[in-house]
Structure 1
Amino acid sequence: MAAVPDAVRSSLSGIAARDSELNSFVHLDDAAPGAPAVPGPLSGRPVAVKDNIAVRGAPWGCGSATRRAERPAHRDAEVVRRLREAGAVVIGTTNLDEFAMGASTESSAWGPTLNPWDTERSPGGSSGGSAAAAAAYDVLALGTDTGGSIREPAAQCGVVGVKPSHGGVPLDGVVPFAPSLDTVGPLARTVADAALLHDVLAGSTPQLAAAAEAGRIAPMLADLTIGVVEQMSGDRNSPEICAQFVRACEALVAHGARLRHVQLARTGEALPTYYAISSAEALIVLESHAMLGELGDEAAQRLEIARTLGGSDQLREAFSVREMVARDVGHCFESCDVLVSPTMPLVAPPLGRRGVDDPLAIPRTDWWTVEANLAGVPAMSMPCGVGSDTGLPVGLQLMAPHGLDARLYRVAAAIEPDLAQI
């Protein structure tokens, strides 16, 4: 790809004009406007990095007041090193819920991020800053996803967000939340850009970009069976979400795919299972930061829960349910190539709504996203039109078997033009 330094200037101009309102960035690199274009697949492309990922010379705050006195990161995380090697210009770091524990980016010590579509709405969390930046300023962005923290804000901000197969992208230089669930992944306006960024993060040949291009050029999906997850696609979604999901399924059929209804019987158990496991795994990082200062409400609640879970029957039961969820997902893939559902049961909720930052609150914004983390499989949220009642973005979620991330990009690129018209 040819160098496009104008893209950096254009994004920085948009940030200067609007980010005092949106608050998607917590740090901008003063050297970014003059950064030379380095050859590579991301040459001259502006990239924003979630602030729980180390960026050399930048503050590394993780949304927490306990890290205000921390020195800037002394080295890049491995994924950031790969970005620079690929020619990207890292323009700054983005806001997030404290320690990536939240669903609205309201728990950040640096204040909430606002949704570019409606500034009275949440951009989602915990990668809300990255999703808002991708939507508002056409930057590529990095997020982390432990239970939906890339896909949920992608859906709310109308961009593509991908949770790679667990273990497919290195976590070196990333402040951990729950290591057995954590992933780093891309956010971008288009499927092709997300694939390009994902290839760089994974350190692989451009197989994902090739899959996206194949889906765009030859969009027929007659060789694929698409599993519609009944528990995630029914009337627990709002009517405007259901309407767009039906149209997405029609688009898949129009491209030759066969639809098959499948069951994930333990969907109702997945969210409390995720919450127990992720809280227990977060104990070490939360204990260490609690000694440095006062944690915010969500992080403090997680710490309290984690202290009670160690070695408990409740935690053992959670790990047992996790294994069953993974088996259920694997069973679906015995008869289906990809699973589909809405990404979220509702559009972006209003900021300040009681319980919006609690993943166990109702309506549960993480209802349909945690299964992919528990099973370790790749999952994508892609734009699926806007709600007829609110005019706000709707997300379509795709899941594929572990290691077959390319399949997500092929299917998504095939139907992307159709969903843009929904």
Structure 2
Amino acid sequence: MSLHLEELWARERELNAFVHLDPDAVRRAGSSAGPLAGRPVAVKDNIAVRGAPWACGSATRRDRPPAGRDAEVVRRVRAAGGLVLGTTNLDELAMGASTESSASGATRNPHDLDRTPGGSSGGSAAAVAAYGVLAIGTDTGGSIREPAAMCGVVGVAPSPGTVPVDGVVPFAPSLDRVGPLAPDLRGAALLHEVLAGVEGLVASTEAGARDDLVGWTVGVIEPMTGERNAPEVVERFEVALGLLVALGATAVPVTVPRFGDLLDVYLTVSSVEALPVLEEHAVLGPLGPEAASRLAIGRRLCDSDVHREAVELRERMVDDVERAFGRCEVMLSPTVPLVAPRLGRPGMGDPLSRPRTDWWTVEANLAGVPAMSVPAGLGAGLPVGVQLMAPAGLDRCLYRVGSTLEAALSGEHPRLPARGR
């Protein structure tokens, strides 16, 4: 490990990305083989890590014994030679957008300690940004991609059903994903291959870093790319889009009915699906405000006309997305409409309150398609992310286009015209 555990602990006093660190992690470094040999991997604390606390950011789980076994994704990381460094902070039961609802206190953004790292996988994203580790997060409505964008790292919500959720505390099962966060596309692809037990993602990343995008069509999602975004976000998005076009991609406008206005559908579907886990934890002790609010909403909407309508709207939207992908290989938008807000800003824990950081991320979960956030540089001095979506099962397309963009933004793509460097 390039970072000594003592140094990490020193910085953790201000950052609070981890809730548990394995004291023997450094000793085991370099003693393993495999595709992740010796690579430190941080694990979100709603995923079981043998011998570590498994609190999920909730006071209701603080007195539980440590996890007795690894979640399947953690087992795969260890089998691939990865060094499980510890567990990371999150919003209570993964329900939130800033880590401020965590019983362990908020995580701070490494780029500005007065700002949120995003959530709910904020601890994982902050650990990647601060220490260069790989990390595992969960994503129910953007909880990997949103903090990845705010912390300037790569975050991926894989195709549904491709990464096992055994040993992961559920939120909303039809929406939940487990996926990688990493400093770069290659690291994300490497970890993603291990988590999903597939090959070809690293190869797609290598191809994207050397080849152009001639023959590729990128759908620019309306209205997710317009004036509802902060000016600094629009500026970086337009730079990213321009680079893709400079490398041969054809950009076409794409409109999916209700895209950009699905937070009410998401809140209804997710809150009703979350009822079993919320009811289970409510009997163990008081839930925090966000989880308690979700419980109340779920109870109110269960078996209601509102819930039935939300499910029907989701089903229609899935068909609309499939038709949209008939016009393009990937769809493109900003990941979130603003840079990381300051901690303590009113409404940050409520997905229906401003600044509405989930505006552009819930769509992929509701539609059942893979999505990725790629760092697109700084806006107003803070990270901005660009989001790619692809048809279900075609995660490799995300890595192909994402790595092309990554190389282009760094000025290192060999096929980038001189005027685009």
Query: TM-score, normalization: structure 1?
Result: 0.96
2:18 partner letter? F
Q: Within 2, Cα distance between the matches of 1:194 and 1:67?
A: 30
Using the alignment, how far apart are the partners of 2:4 and 2:410 within structure 1? Answer: 23
Answering whether residue 191 of structure 2 is matched by residue 212 of structure 1, we say: no
Instruction: Give the letter aligned to residue 333 of structure 2.
Output: S
Note if 1:111 corresponds to 2:105: yes
CA contact (8 A) 2:44 2:124 kept: yes
Q: Does 1:234 align with 2:226?
A: yes
Residues paired across the two proteins, number: 411
1:233 aligns to what SS in structure 2? coil
Match of 2:398 in 1: 408
Secondary structure in 1 matching 2:227: coil
Mapped to 2, the partners of 1:123 and 1:385 lie a distance apart of: 16
Measure the CA separation in 2 of the matches of 1:417 and 1:378.
21
* 1:419 Cα deviation after fit: 2.2
Map Cα deviations across residues 283-331 of structure 1 (whole Å, 9 max, x no partner). Answer: 0000011000000000000000111111100000010111122122111
Quote the residue 2:81 is aligned against: 87
Which of 247, 250, 255 is matched with 1:258 structurally? 250
Moved more, 27-36 or 233-242: 27-36
Matched AA of 1:415: L
CA displacement at 1:231 relative to structure 2 = 1.1
Are 1:154 and 2:154 matched, yes or no?
Answer: no
Residues 174-216 of structure 1, C-alpha deviation per residue, up to 9 Å, x if partnerless? 00000000000000010000000000000123x1111101111
Residue by residue over 1:337-389, the C-alpha shift from the partner in whole angstroms, topping out at 9 and shown as x without a partner, is 000000010000010000011111122100000000001100000100110xx
Q: How does 1:195-210 map to 2 (within 5 A)?
A: 195-205=189-199, 207-210=200-203
SS in 1 for 2:123: helix
Report the CA distance between 1:129 and its aligned residue: 0.1
Indicate the residue corresponding to 1:3 in structure 2: none
- Residue 11 of structure 1 contacts residue 137 of structure 1 at CA under 8 Å; is this kept in 2? no
Give, in whole Å, the separation in 1 of the partners of 2:393 and 2:6.
Answer: 38
Distance 1:325 1:395 in 2: 24
Paired with 1:42 and 1:320, the residues of 2 have a C-alpha distance of 42
Give me the identity figure in percent.
Answer: 63
Contact 2:225 2:234 in 1 (8 A): yes
Cα 1:309–1:163, aligned 2, differ >3 Å: closer, same or farther?
A: same
**Structure 1 residue ranges (4+ consecutive) displaced by more than 2 angstroms after TM superposition:** 11-14, 417-422
CA deviation after TM superposition for structure 1 residue 16, in Å: 2.2
Question: Equivalent residue for 1:19?
Answer: 12
**Partner Cα distance (2:256, 2:128) in 1:** 32
- Matched AA of 1:28: L
Q: TM-score, normalised by structure 2?
A: 0.96
Following superposition, the deviation at residue 30 of structure 1 comes to: 1.1
Residue 342 (structure 1) aligned with residue 334 (structure 2): yes
Tell me, which stretches of 5 or more residues in structure 2 are unaligned?
Answer: 412-420
Contact 1:385 1:420 in 2 (8 A): no
Q: 1:13-412, aligned counterparts within 5 Å?
A: 13-35=6-28, 36-205=30-199, 207-218=200-211, 220-387=212-379, 390-412=380-402
Query: For 2:209, what is the secondary structure of its paired residue?
Result: helix
- Cα distance in structure 2, aligned partners of 1:416 and 1:305: 40
Name structure 1 gaps, 5 residues minimum: 1-5
Shift of 1:17: 2.8
RMSD of aligned Cα (Å)? 1.1
